[in-house]
Amino acid sequence: MPYLLILGARSDIARAVSHRFARKGLNLCLAARRYEEADRDAKDLEIRYRIRVMTREFDALDFEGHESWYAGLPEKPLGVLCAVGFLGNQKKGETNLTEAKKIMETNYLGCVSILNVIANDFEERKAGFIIGISSVAGDRGRQSNYFYGSSKAAFTAYLSGLRNRLCRVNVRVITVKPGFVRTGMTEDLELPAMLTSSPEEVARDILSAFEKGKDVIYTKWYWKYIMAVIKIIPEKIFKKLNL
Amino acid sequence: MNIANWGKYPTIDARIRGFRTVGDLKDSFQDAATLIARGLGRCYGDSSLWSTIVSTLKFNRILAFDAEEGIMRCEAGTSLEEVLDVAVPCGWFLPVTPGTKHVTLGGAIASDVHGKNHHKEGAFSDHVLSMEVMLHDGEIIACSHRERQGLFTAVCGGMGLLGVILNATFRLKKIETAYIMQRTIRAADLDEVMDLFEQYADATYSVAWIDCIAKEKKRGRSVFMLGEHALRKDLEGSQFAERPLEISLRKRLNIPSQFPSFVLNRFSAKAFNFVYFQRAKTERSAVADFDTFFYPLDAIGHWNRIYGSKGFTQYQCVMPRDTSKQGLRSLLNIISWGGEVPFLAVLKLFGKGNGNLLSFPMEGYTLALDFPITPTLFSFLDSLDKIVLDYGGRLYLAKDARMSGEMFRRSYGNAARFIDLKHQLDGSDKFRSLQSERLEI
């Protein structure tokens, strides 16, 4: 059964992507931590799209276990979507290293740890694709979320390097940088309606990037230009802004 | 954030919490002392508005589908559109559908929605086999027509005031094709259209668009519409015959922004009604796909924006069959001479009501009128209320944004029983909406 592996399958973006790819007829393996609703999600996708879905418990922070976790899959996936992410609490992180570490470890180390294993397998098989959900927050550090932002910046750089390495063996790596998305992660934030997209819109953009062979995408598309502007603001001015 | 339902009136600054699991919902119950559940927000008024709203939209899994027996079980946030996407290709259809597919299963049950086949097949809840409801303390209770029937008949039509519906199992309707054999007949006045409803009582689907502005002899002129599910043999020789359960996707128009409020006035409404009536041939038959037949307005995204920023309300009443004719005459009389202009009006003959405590339909005629909100509208609608009450009728809670508590108590015979049951099951009065406050439920 050829399938797409989805890491962090409980997130709203991952759920929307699952539906998009399932509609194309692709089987899925949904993996997430404390995944109590796994059976319900699987059944739902099977009924709607007549595909096969398996589920796995997966903890991005169990670094040591990743190799054997991947080896334990019944067969190797066609590709992987890494939607593991944790916004955390910036303010708390400033005085509490445990919170800051959790943000950095989930968004960066955890993803690197499992993607290393998968990349090696894909490289050896000369097949596969990797889609990583990073964030526009990684394009420039801001006071409001720089633990999250810096770990996403690191993840973006990691994916860029990985793409450079794997393009030689025809394994594609796609970096996805969503702007504001109305999800469980941002439920308590006031987001500007004009700039905020739904998980479904993000999923649509991801599928289209996959089909068109893109390397890096912003979603929605105009975030590319917003971030271009934000990146060229001189630091002298930027440091005084309230973003 | 500011939130309103389909009529864009009223608006409330609310905190919205989504839930993806039963555990998430329990957490929300602990965080908020009072709340109301909300799905796609297609009720017109304030039924699902409160300072804390739990959104069911992420709780939308299809849990089981028996394609042999036509039985489906879904979480409450599943939309009827999602149900159709799965059911229709397998030869099944919604047993009852309202005029939009953009409602959730939970909302459909809580409002006890009806459709064009009410006179034959009842309300949506009549096809619900069982459901699970989370009460104020987080306890999950299963109920059905047989098991805990008291709870079942209160939750169906109960506007979310007894608990949050988690999931439901319901029966679908077998179809051979995704098409409807549609017939349109023009009626010159109110008497004629009422005769048509009586004459075509056996038709599966029937509804009439009615002109509420035309005066005197033309009063109540209508376009009466009938429909039957097309059989395979009905499509023979047509372009649909090869793939009878598939329909092509329609182009979707979108109303991009609010119309200025002056666009809708007596003249534009009159012009619209004139064109609509004249365009309908005296009698016509056609084949339409189910989307076009049941959900014509779904093809226009955000059509509520044509009413402008002040929003609109839909006044939907029903009156008993034996007083309907007089009642409708009185209503049309006031409306055609009054200063408020209903843009769109729909008439339908209901069959017998069910036993659900706050269910809207009763045997008789229902009239639905869309009014843009104006400073004088509500006092005008109060005068309509008096007529409806005098003739023994009532208003649909899912459309209501303004009726008085007194009107509610006097028109809903089981109001007191419902309130008693709410005291018993939800003593802390956890489930509240702007509507329940207004109606003193």
pLDDT exceeds cutoff 80 at B252: no
pLDDT exceeds cutoff 80 at A243: no
Length of chain A counted residue by residue: 243
Interface contact B18-A184, CB threshold 8 A: yes
pLDDT digits (tens, 9 = 90+) for B282-325: 778 889 999 999 998 888 888 888 888 889 999 999 999 999 99
> Over chain B, what is the mean pLDDT?
94
Residue numbers in A near B16 (CB within 8 A): 187
pLDDT (0 to 100) of residue B105: 98
**CB of B39 closer than 8 Å to CB of B134:** no
pLDDT (0 to 100) of residue B178: 97
Residue B335 burial by CB count (10 A; 0-12/13-18/19+): exposed, middle or buried?
A: buried
Residue numbers in B near A186 (CB within 8 A): none
pLDDT (0 to 100) of residue B21: 96
CATH class of segment(s) A3-238:
alpha beta
Interface contact A43-B63, CB threshold 8 A: yes
Domains assigned to chain B: 62-175 (3.30.465.10), 179-404 (3.30.70.2520)
pLDDT (0 to 100) of residue A177: 98
Q: What is the mean pLDDT of residues B66-94?
A: 98
pTM of the model: 0.94
Which residues on chain B place their C-beta less than 8 Å from a C-beta of chain A?
A: 1, 16-18, 20-21, 23, 58, 61-65, 75, 82, 85-86
pLDDT exceeds cutoff 70 at B251: no
Residue numbers in A near B17 (CB within 8 A): 187
In total, the C-beta contacts within 8 angstroms joining chain A to chain B are 33
pLDDT exceeds cutoff 70 at B35: yes
ipTM entry: 0.91
Q: What is the mean pLDDT of residues B106-135?
A: 98
pLDDT digits (tens, 9 = 90+) for A56-98: 999 999 999 999 999 999 999 999 999 999 999 999 999 999 9
pLDDT (0 to 100) of residue B250: 67
pLDDT exceeds cutoff 90 at B200: yes
Q: What is the mean pLDDT of residues A210-235?
A: 95
Residue numbers in B near A181 (CB within 8 A): none
Spans of all domains in chain A = 3-238
Interface contact A40-B1, CB threshold 8 A: no
